[in-house]
């Protein structure tokens, strides 16, 4: 048995430490807070038990003493427990109290430090807490204490005279009194001050004003908890060093409907640009239950003059069956290979195959024209490994040209309802910016979860399609396509979203 008290960092999942990630992966039980990003749970093993005990102002899922008892109980069952806490466990995270409880109960533990919101939030807002020209020390203070009580532990005069950068956490409710006490103690009301709300996350925003003006500015701008309060001349650097808030998609919420196996590239690009990505895969990619047709085609590969791959998944599952038959890429030596799209081409290159043809436009007409120019004619034998259910346009057009086309299923897609509730929550709150569709099947499956009429009731939500076929499927349901790239690729789609959102 063992308990790891892990700092989850201030919100950006990329700020979790490597050791924290390793501890999450080996844990049997993960007990996590509201301020710990849900994306971090992806580091857990599938069989791990994840228990939410979030605490935010005025709403505690579980009181602290019950959290302590829960951690101890799970550990004494012989399990490895990861206690995942926002920020750093030992900086206003009550991690020290939990460690003492574990020690008294005879449960071994380790503390895994995390980046505190007191450091991370200001850093993302362009506010270095120390700077040779302004401040050589930092004081971190709880703002949760009532500053009016006579036995306050805060020495306001010392804080006002210190020339230190002051960082208050959990202090939004008391912001007017904090400013009042500092000014009464002699701090110049013209001293620069700042608020950083949900620092480092996709909901991040900041505000800089003078200490005297900050409380009213906070009200005018709608700042609430969780926000860090920073007081000191380092706040004057915000305008120059504020790098995070210049990300073009910061504050935008984008739904990705691609299968989880395909979504990582799109999600990563959108996240890098600051977007909140809601992964709502409407399909899953699964192997076929039976592969006799594909296996027979692989045995007869030498008879085909062309192989056409239309997706990364087609390449992936074809090569799995190729390996299962005792063959490798050398088995394709007699055939030319077409790759529909750059990602498919890269999947082939990673297996030692340089495509003979990559069309400029990834629609059936463009592919057909290119193949005909490269010698496909009447009698040419063509093999197309693809999804069990897919559009028949390309093989039909090739057959019209006289080619002998064998379409063989390499994998199948099945509907998936993951995170539907998350999308509905954003719709209801009016915080959803865009839904992206990478194929007609994602449109059909998404609308089976969230009806077209629901989307029509939210005209502020942009709908993005990777190409004209997908856009046409939206139109068939009476929905507009607001965003469509000129090139039908994921990078082009991301570029179009950046311009339009």
Q: Give catalytic status of residue 173 as yes or no.
A: no
DSSP annotation string for 106-169: T--EEEE----HHHHHHHHTT--S-BTTTBS-EEEEES-S-TTSTT-S--HHHHHHS-PEEEEE
Phi, psi of 271, deg, nearest 5: -60, -40
**DSSP E strands, 259-387:** 276-279, 283-287, 306-309, 336-339, 381-387
Q: Give catalytic status of residue 288 as yes or no.
A: no
| SS3 letters across 186-240 | CCCCCCEEEEEECCCCCCCEEEEEECCCHHHHHHHHCCCCCEEEEECHHHHHHHH
Find the catalytic residue in 2, 12, 55, 336: 55
Give the CA distances from residue 301 to residues 132, 304, 384, in Å, rounded to whole numbers and listed in that order: 70, 6, 12
Q: Give catalytic status of residue 12 as yes or no.
A: no
Collect all residues with Cβ–Cβ distance below 8 Å to 277 and sequence separation of at least 6.
254, 256, 267, 270, 271
Collect all residues with Cβ–Cβ distance below 8 Å to 457 and sequence separation of at least 6.
none
Would strands 138-142 and 165-169 be described as parallel, antiparallel, or unpaired?
A: parallel
- Let me know: does 59 contact 33? Beta carbons within 8 Å: no
Find the catalytic residue in 2, 28, 74, 170: 170
Q: What is the DSSP letter of 357?
A: B
**Euclidean distance between CA atoms 131 and 165, whole angstroms:** 10
Residue with tokens 């504050």: 251
Q: Residue 465: which of 448, 431, 432, 442 has the closest Cα?
A: 442
**Euclidean distance between CA atoms 469 and 223, whole angstroms:** 44
Find the catalytic residue in 12, 33, 74, 252: 33
Q: At 10, is the secondary structure helix, strand, or coil? A: coil
Helices H / strands E in the chain, number of each? 19, 21
Residues designated catalytic: 33, 55, 170
């Amino acid at each position: 048995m063992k308990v790891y008290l892990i700092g989850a960092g201030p919100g950006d999942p990329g700020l979790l430490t490597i050791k924290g990630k390793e501890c999450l992966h080996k844990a049997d039980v993960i007990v996590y807070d509201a301020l710990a990003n849900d994306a971090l749970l992806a580091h857990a093993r599938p069989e791990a038990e994840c228990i939410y005990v979030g605490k935010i102002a005025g709403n505690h899922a579980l009181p602290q003493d019950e959290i302590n008892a829960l951690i101890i109980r799970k550990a004494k069952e012989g399990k490895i427990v990861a206690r995942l806490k926002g920020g750093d466990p030992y900086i206003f995270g009550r991690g020290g109290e939990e460690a003492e409880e574990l020690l008294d109960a005879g449960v071994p533990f380790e503390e895994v430090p995390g980046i505190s919101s007191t450091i991370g939030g200001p850093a993302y807002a362009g506010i270095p807490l120390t700077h040779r020209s302004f401040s050589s020390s930092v004081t971190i203070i709880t703002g949760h204490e009532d500053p009016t009580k006579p036995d306050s532990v805060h020495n306001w005069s010392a804080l006002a005279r210190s020339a230190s950068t002051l960082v208050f956490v959990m202090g939004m409710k008391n912001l007017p009194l904090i400013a009042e006490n500092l000014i009464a103690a002699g701090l110049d009301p013209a001293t620069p001050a700042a608020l950083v709300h949900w620092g480092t996350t996709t909901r991040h925003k900041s505000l800089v004003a003078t200490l005297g003006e900050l409380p009213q500015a906070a009200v005018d701008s709608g700042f609430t908890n969780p926000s860090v309060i920073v007081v000191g001349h380092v706040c004057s650097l915000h305008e120059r060093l504020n790098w995070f808030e210049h990300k073009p998609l910061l504050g935008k919420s984008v739904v990705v409907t691609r299968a989880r196996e395909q979504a990582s590239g799109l999600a990563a690009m959108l996240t890098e640009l600051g977007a909140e990505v809601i992964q709502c895969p409407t399909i899953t990619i699964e192997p076929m239950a039976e592969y006799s047709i594909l296996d027979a085609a692989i045995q007869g590969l030498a008879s085909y003059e062309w192989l056409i791959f239309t997706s990364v998944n087609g390449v992936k599952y074809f090569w799995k069956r190729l390996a299962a038959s005792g063959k490798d890429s050398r088995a394709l030596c007699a055939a030319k290979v077409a790759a529909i799209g750059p990602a498919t081409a890269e999947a082939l290159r990673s297996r030692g195959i340089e495509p003979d043809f990559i069309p400029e436009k990834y629609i059936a007409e463009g592919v057909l024209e290119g193949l005909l120019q490269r010698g496909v004619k009447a009698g040419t034998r063509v093999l197309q490994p693809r999804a069990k259910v897919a559009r028949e346009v390309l093989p039909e057009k090739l057959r019209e040209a006289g080619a002998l086309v064998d379409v063989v299923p390499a994998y199948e897609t099945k509907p998936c309802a993951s995170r539907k509730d998350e999308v509905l929550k954003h719709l209801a709150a009016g915080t959803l910016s865009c839904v992206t569709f990478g194929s007609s099947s994602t449109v059909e499956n998404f609308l089976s979860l969230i009806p077209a009429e629901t989307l029509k009731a939210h005209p502020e939500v942009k709908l993005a399609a990777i190409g004209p076929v997908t856009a046409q499927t939206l139109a068939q349901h009476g929905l507009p396509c607001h965003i469509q790239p000129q090139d039908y690729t994921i990078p082009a789609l991301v570029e179009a979203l950046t311009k339009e959102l």
